[in-house]
Structure 1
């Protein structure tokens, strides 16, 4: 058996607890309740003045209201996806049902509009309900659970808004979010390369539109050099055009075709990891979403989201941004993670993306707990 065949037969695992130790390097406050939700947080973040923080604040994932009318007016001309019943899936809304089981015991209940997917698993596919305007019949494809090579497109947000509110250490030293995101990406890519050196990585930068910077390569050193050289500066952005992103992907990527897809594994799968860091800018489709629909119709295309946001408040649009990401997951195969200004969560949730899309369960049935199962 060749080395490539051996590599393809290996299973991939995610280990979020190992990545959590990275927080010690930065000595970042690990309790969102201590810092992110403190009434003093904004003044500390902006002025650097040391103000005693209160430790009895509620969790950072409380419900938030609508954003300012000015911010809403800016995006009215853009086609924004809509998600019915999103309150059950949106962590910023009341009635939220977690997409990830935190306890490791019983997975959370499936929301009513996802009830027909309760027995789905990785590789299951739902026909796009918006194609030709009619609701298509759910078609479940049971794909082989193999560790085939991944073509991973890493999309990194370079809007200046990403760095507007920094991470703050216990001694109130500020750290730019983009620097911590790139560090987590470094760990992610090196770990994936260790799991399977046949994985390839491409880089897309997000400004007002998507810019394809690095074509697919399995040379992680080359990838890191391009990542470091092209992400030193941010720039102001008025919005983000999702059409440009999916158009670029459709142009650059050849999706695999397998005749007997229930038996034969694909030569590779394509996964996009969309890292978005804006809390006041709702992404939208400026020129339609035909490319996104074409890509989503392939069982070998996956779109994961890593949303790094400011502490939720009535002054930002975290909930509305998250609703867009929910709408993009028409196949229920995406992993969508949101992270506030908490470095432990940043690295843990990045580690949760290590699992192979063909081998992982759907996110609502996933458990990342290391606790042993209880008595039967």
Structure 2
């Protein structure tokens, strides 16, 4: 060894455990902070790709489009969030050629929320724009009003375009709201670049988000994956871990029956994917 030799054994975790019991890990604790109810602005992509069918059928075999599933997910989110705290409020907008309001007034009335969700439709005119600068401008304006009332402001963007990268012109030093993204997309192909779109969405979140923002993608077209991610977004931004550290839901491990002999699979080898 450098600096001279020694006959003393090298101290390792296993050696320390054999000589003295290690102290228990400290209990998890969340730093105390003032709880702020949320004002959540949903922005839903109503481009033509929102009409792509999901991998599940509705009543009587009717196809379920992405927009149909998104509407169900929004109602699931609103009901669940209000069950957690009735002071949360919601507003709704859409992204067609540009940002536009569906229901600007924030409300915690579930009937008002349901009406706004049902109002979401696909326009007949072609949709080509992908600029989300207006979304950031209105979010910044509304966020200042929310902060003055002791509330936290969040944007949830639901994006469905597989070849059109979102664009914005927004200064780096303005982070007045938190942003989450749900990205529903097609498979990669000659006309699609979902990885580039996803990377652009991640960059946008990192550019504007005040607290940890989550970005989830759904490329399998499965409604249960969409609903699962929406449930994760129920987490309050001030109480979140980093998305890279997030490992919920856990895989379900099938246990080996008692007395399982040689040749049976171990606990770690039989994983049922969720």
Matched, 1:169 2:56: yes
User: Greater shift after overlay, 217-226 or 144-153?
Assistant: 144-153
Higher strand share: 2
Contact map agreement 1:144 1:358 (CA 8 A) in 2:
no
Q: Who is 1:211 aligned against?
A: 100
Q: How does 1:165-244 map to 2 (within 5 A)?
A: 165-169=52-56, 174-214=63-103, 215-229=105-119, 231-235=120-124, 236-244=126-134
SS in 2 for 1:245: helix
- Residue 303 in structure 1 maps to residue 179 in structure 2: yes
The aligned runs of 1:1-376 (5 Å cut-off) are 144-145=32-33, 147-163=35-51, 165-169=52-56, 174-214=63-103, 215-229=105-119, 231-235=120-124, 236-254=126-144, 267-285=150-168, 288-290=169-171, 293=172, 295-296=174-175, 298=176, 301-328=177-204, 329-330=206-207, 333-340=212-219, 341-370=221-250
Q: Give distance in 1, aligned partners of 2:228 and 2:240.
A: 16
**8 Å Cα contact 1:146-1:359 kept in structure 2:** no
Gaps of 5+ in 2: 1-29, 254-266, 268-274
Contact 1:276–1:306 at 8 Å: present in 2 too?
yes
Does the 8 Å contact 1:239/1:282 carry over to 2? no
Contact 1:150-1:270 within 8 A present in 2 as well: yes
In structure 1, what is the equivalent of residue 262 of structure 2? none
User: Over residues 228-263 of structure 1, what are the superposed CA-to-partner deviations in whole Å (9 max), with x where a residue is unaligned?
Assistant: 12x1333421121111111122233326669xxxxx
- State the distance in 2 between where 1:167 and 1:372 align: 25
Structure 1 residues 281 and 149 mapped into 2: Cα distance closer, same or farther (>3 Å)?
same
Paired residue total: 217
Q: Give the distance between the partners of 1:198 and 1:362, measured in 2 at CA.
A: 25
Instruction: Please tell me the root mean square deviation across aligned C-alpha atoms, in Å.
Output: 2.8
1:202 is paired with a residue whose SS is: strand
Question: Secondary structure at 1:169's aligned position in 2?
Answer: strand
For residues 372 and 310 of structure 1, do their structure 2 counterparts lie closer, same or farther at Cα, with a shift above 3 Å needed? closer
Pick 1 or 2: higher relative contact order, CA cutoff 8 A, min separation 6. Answer: 1
TM-score by length of 2: 0.71
Task: State the Cα distance separating 1:212 from its structure 2 match.
Answer: 2.0
Aligned-partner Cα distance in 2 for 1:172–1:312: 28
The question of whether the paired residues in 1 share the 8 Å contact of 2:183 and 2:216 is answered with yes
User: Who wins on radius of gyration, i.e. which is larger?
Assistant: 2
The Cα shift of 1:333 comes to: 1.3
1:110-141 superposed Cα distances (whole Å, 9 cap, x missing partner): xxxxxxxxxxxxxxxxxxxxxxxxxxxxxxxx
| TM-score of the superposed pair, with normalisation by structure 1 | 0.53
Kept after mapping to 1: 8 A contact 2:130/2:165: yes
Change (3 A) 1:172 1:257: closer
